[in-house]
């Protein structure tokens, strides 16, 4: 399949990239310069994310600028200026301090996307505690797993979530000192406290203790796509990456209105749903509600969103609507759309051009990397189907693991291997919680090995092939599921596709595709044969799926990723494995 490159139109008023020349920016780049663009804590007391993201703006010209614009489930809009956010987060930090929580203590939240979540995140960072957001739709067991592994000392939640999910866990969580309820009027007992009461009792100002770039700030669990979620630890210095990528990839400018659709329970929802936009002093949209195509279009229009950061799963759901309904909205403020989390099928990029009037930019990173590492920058030509090129300050390579446990770089363009990064970028994870051995096993020959397979072309663009665990070995070929899924998605009937290798005595593994159909299409043998013929024409018979199964409910995790391991386990009649992050 040939997808032509999309060039940005240099004269377009919608584009105002910070980075106009990739090579020149690389040559000039240093992390020290980025560090100098961010404020230090007063009195040579180091660097604290929340100070840089909130207080320094509140103390300057942005005091009255809207930091958070929160849209409630029922369409109420609440605005918080940088000045107000400073006060609220200082109060929350005082609450933590009063309750005896300090440096390195884990503060968990289990709430929907409500203002208290954002206040707690930034307040915990001010207090040099470790912020660990939990996704509110988790059931009791995944909540217990994460809180106990994370040594949670305090939990912020709602009365309903407490009653339904947390109450029964309390005696299994001996380290948990307090539960603060955002909607409780009076303290219930010595452990169950009212957050509004505590907030009313403390002072408006808080002196941030000295904070080191290397102090642990965030604990994020991975999405559990490939197995049991891992707890990745990040430091205050990670903000350098958030700031850098806000500048170059999301192209933030002073009057931007930014919307990151991810929940803070996933790393994207914290790195970009809270920190990056505030580090840049712009207005951040938070929507309490879950995905709904019409609601999303309304928000883009009514809130005048200029930069959108979302995920392929949402884009595919918008695509089900077709381009026409989306085109009926006034999206003239929208300037840039970026996507992360899963491969972005070229088809989606073409759809973006038609429906939104601009291509969708793909970028790649992981919970472990803390921030975007590889991206299609606004200032460069997009190659649909490619994740783009490494950020300034990031060295990426394709490597081959050697028998002696090392890793060798593969220089030849177009060769498939494991995607690796040179350790040392500021938001690199500093460990997997309570799993030093697993952490160490991610590094070899001075590379961090990502577990993803990719190729690099002659111009330095990286192309995602698949997760190392998902690669299909069929009749001597290595097939990446993404390539096959993208072709399936190019067929007009297909909404989503997941491709796996199914053990086969003759070819080793045969390629099997699971597809869900767009509305208006019916599963039938004729369509199955048509899809097989369609993929054969595009991919050749060695790579095209031999089997296709229709499934309107492809298993996904809550981060919206198709769980191929589950498709495979179910195909083979094996146990499901960890389902804690699975979507209902």
Site of interaction with ligand ATP (CB under 6 A): 222-227, 229-230, 266, 340-343, 362-364, 366-367, 387, 450, 452, 464, 467, 559, 561
* Partner that binds at residue 474, options Mg ion, ligand ATP, none, CB closer than 5 to 8 Å by kind: none
Token output for 429: 């994870």
* Partner that binds at residue 42, options ligand ATP, Mg ion, none, CB closer than 5 to 8 Å by kind: none
Task: Please give the backbone phi and psi of residue 499, each rounded to the nearest 5 degrees, phi first.
Answer: -120, 135
State the minimum distance, in angstroms, from the CB of residue 454 to ligand ATP.
9
- Give the Cβ contact number of residue 498 at 10 Å: 26
Smaller CB distance to Mg ion: residue 222 or 261? 222
* Partner that binds at residue 535, options Mg ion, ligand ATP, none, CB closer than 5 to 8 Å by kind: none
Smaller CB distance to ligand ATP: residue 158 or 386? 386
* Partner that binds at residue 340, options ligand ATP, Mg ion, none, CB closer than 5 to 8 Å by kind: ligand ATP
State the minimum distance, in angstroms, from the CB of residue 578 to ligand ATP.
9
State the minimum distance, in angstroms, from the CB of residue 163 to ligand ATP.
29
Which residues are bridge partners to 549 per DSSP? 514
Smaller CB distance to Mg ion: residue 192 or 468? 468
State the minimum distance, in angstroms, from the CB of residue 243 to ligand ATP.
20
Smaller CB distance to Mg ion: residue 431 or 508? 431
State the minimum distance, in angstroms, from the CB of residue 256 to Mg ion.
30
Smaller CB distance to Mg ion: residue 222 or 339? 222
Please tell me the distance from the alpha carbon of residue 67 to that of residue 57, in angstroms, as a whole number: 10
Smaller CB distance to ligand ATP: residue 481 or 545? 481
* Partner that binds at residue 215, options ligand ATP, Mg ion, none, CB closer than 5 to 8 Å by kind: none
Smaller CB distance to ligand ATP: residue 127 or 363? 363
Smaller CB distance to Mg ion: residue 222 or 486? 222
* Partner that binds at residue 128, options ligand ATP, Mg ion, none, CB closer than 5 to 8 Å by kind: none
Please tell me the distance from the alpha carbon of residue 447 to that of residue 434, in angstroms, as a whole number: 22
Helix then strand then coil, in percent of the chain rounded to 5, is 30, 25, 45
Q: Are residues 461 and 383 in contact, defined by beta-carbon separation less than 8 angstroms?
A: yes
Smaller CB distance to ligand ATP: residue 38 or 315? 315
- Give the Cβ contact number of residue 148 at 10 Å: 15
Smaller CB distance to ligand ATP: residue 62 or 562? 562
* Partner that binds at residue 341, options Mg ion, ligand ATP, none, CB closer than 5 to 8 Å by kind: ligand ATP
Q: Which of 521, 510, 572 is nearest to 547 (CA)?
A: 510
Please tell me the distance from the alpha carbon of residue 510 to that of residue 186, in angstroms, as a whole number: 61
Give how far Cα 74 sits from Cα of 71, 78, 115, 178, 246, Å.
Answer: 8, 12, 15, 30, 30
10 Å CB burial of residue 31 (0-12, 13-18, 19+) is: middle
State the minimum distance, in angstroms, from the CB of residue 379 to ligand ATP.
18
* Partner that binds at residue 393, options Mg ion, ligand ATP, none, CB closer than 5 to 8 Å by kind: none
Q: Are residues 130 and 107 in contact, defined by beta-carbon separation less than 8 angstroms?
A: yes
* Partner that binds at residue 387, options ligand ATP, Mg ion, none, CB closer than 5 to 8 Å by kind: ligand ATP
State the minimum distance, in angstroms, from the CB of residue 367 to Mg ion.
6
State the minimum distance, in angstroms, from the CB of residue 317 to ligand ATP.
17
State the minimum distance, in angstroms, from the CB of residue 253 to ligand ATP.
24
State the minimum distance, in angstroms, from the CB of residue 54 to ligand ATP.
26
- Position closest to Mg ion via CB: 222
* Contact set for Mg ion, span 178-237 (CB under 5 A): 222
Please tell me the distance from the alpha carbon of residue 430 to that of residue 464, in angstroms, as a whole number: 25
Total residues contacting Mg ion (rule CB under 5 A)? 1
Q: Are residues 313 and 560 in contact, defined by beta-carbon separation less than 8 angstroms?
A: yes
How does strand 494-504 pair with strand 508-517? Answer: antiparallel
Q: Are residues 326 and 355 in contact, defined by beta-carbon separation less than 8 angstroms?
A: yes
The SS3 call for residue 453 is strand
Give how far Cα 410 sits from Cα of 292, 380, 402, 415, 420, Å.
Answer: 43, 25, 12, 7, 11
* Contact set for Mg ion, span 73-102 (CB under 5 A): none
Q: Are residues 567 and 516 in contact, defined by beta-carbon separation less than 8 angstroms?
A: no
What sign does the dihedral 310-311-317-320 (CA atoms) show? positive
State the minimum distance, in angstroms, from the CB of residue 257 to ligand ATP.
24
Please tell me the distance from the alpha carbon of residue 260 to that of residue 248, in angstroms, as a whole number: 16
Smaller CB distance to ligand ATP: residue 38 or 444? 444
Give how far Cα 520 sits from Cα of 163, 493, 495, 517, Å.
Answer: 42, 8, 11, 8
Q: Using CB under 5 A as the criterion, which residues of the chain lie in contact with Mg ion when the complex forms?
A: 222
């Amino acid at each position: 399949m040939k997808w032509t490159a999309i060039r940005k139109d240099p004269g377009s008023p919608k584009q105002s990239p910070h980075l106009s020349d990739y090579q020149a920016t690389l040559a000039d780049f240093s992390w020290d310069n980025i560090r100098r663009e961010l404020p230090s804590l007063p009195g040579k007391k180091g660097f604290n994310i929340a100070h840089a993201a909130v207080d320094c703006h509140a103390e300057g010209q942005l005091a009255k600028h809207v930091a958070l614009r929160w849209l409630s489930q029922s369409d109420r809009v609440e605005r918080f200026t940088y000045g107000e956010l400073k006060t609220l987060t200082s109060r929350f930090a005082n609450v933590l301090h009063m309750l005896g929580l300090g440096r390195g203590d884990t503060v968990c939240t289990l709430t929907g996307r409500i203002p208290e979540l954002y206040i707690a995140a930034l307040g915990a960072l001010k207090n040099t505690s470790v912020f660990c957001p939990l996704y509110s739709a988790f059931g009791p067991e995944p909540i217990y797993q994460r809180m106990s592994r994370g040594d949670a000392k305090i939990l912020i939640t709602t009365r309903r979530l407490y009653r339904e999910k947390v109450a029964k866990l309390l005696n299994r969580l001996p380290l948990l000192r307090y539960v603060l309820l955002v909607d409780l009027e009076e303290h219930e007992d010595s452990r169950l406290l009212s957050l509004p009461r505590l907030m009313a009792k403390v002072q408006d100002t808080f002196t941030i203790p000295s904070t080191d770039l290397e102090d642990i700030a965030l604990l994020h669990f991975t999405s559990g796509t490939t197995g049991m979620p891992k707890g990745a630890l990040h430091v205050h210095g990670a903000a350098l990456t958030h700031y850098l990528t806000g500048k170059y990839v999301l192209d933030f400018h002073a009057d931007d209105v930014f919307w990151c659709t991810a929940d803070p329970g996933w790393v994207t929802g914290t790195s970009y749903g809270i920190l990056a936009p505030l580090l840049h002093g712009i207005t951040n949209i938070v929507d309490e509600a879950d995905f709904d195509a019409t609601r999303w279009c309304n928000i883009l229009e009514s809130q005048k969103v200029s930069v959108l950061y979302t995920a392929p799963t949402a884009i595919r759901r918008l695509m089900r609507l077709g381009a026409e309904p989306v085109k009926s909205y006034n999206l003239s403020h929208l300037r840039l759309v970026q996507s992360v989390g899963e491969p972005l099928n070229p088809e989606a990029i073409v759809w973006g051009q038609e429906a939104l009037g601009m291509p969708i930019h793909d970028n790649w990173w992981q919970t472990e990397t803390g921030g975007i590492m590889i991206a299609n920058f606004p200032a460069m030509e997009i190659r649909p189907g490619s994740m783009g090129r490494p950020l300034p300050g990031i060295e990426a390579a394709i490597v081959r693991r050697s028998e002696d446990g090392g890793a060798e770089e593969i220089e030849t363009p177009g060769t498939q291997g494991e995607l690796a990064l040179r350790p040392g970028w500021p938001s690199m994870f500093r460990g997997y919680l309570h799993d030093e051995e697993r952490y160490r096993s991610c590094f070899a020959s001075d590379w961090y090995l990502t577990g993803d397979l990719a190729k690099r072309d002659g111009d330095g663009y990286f192309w995602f092939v698949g997760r190392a665990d998902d690669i299909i070995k069929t009749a001597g070929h290595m097939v990446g599921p993404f390539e096959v899924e993208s072709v399936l998605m190019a067929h007009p009937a297909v909404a989503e596709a997941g491709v796996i290798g199914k053990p086969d005595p003759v070819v080793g593994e045969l390629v099997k595709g699971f597809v869900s159909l767009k509305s208006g299409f019916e599963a039938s043998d004729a369509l199955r044969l048509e899809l097989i013929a369609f993929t054969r024409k595009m991919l050749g018979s060695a790579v095209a799926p031999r089997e296709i199964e229709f499934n309107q409910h492809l298993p996904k995790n809550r981060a919206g990723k198709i769980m191929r391991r589950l498709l495979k386990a179910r195909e083979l009649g094996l146990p499901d494995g960890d389902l804690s992050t699975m979507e209902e």
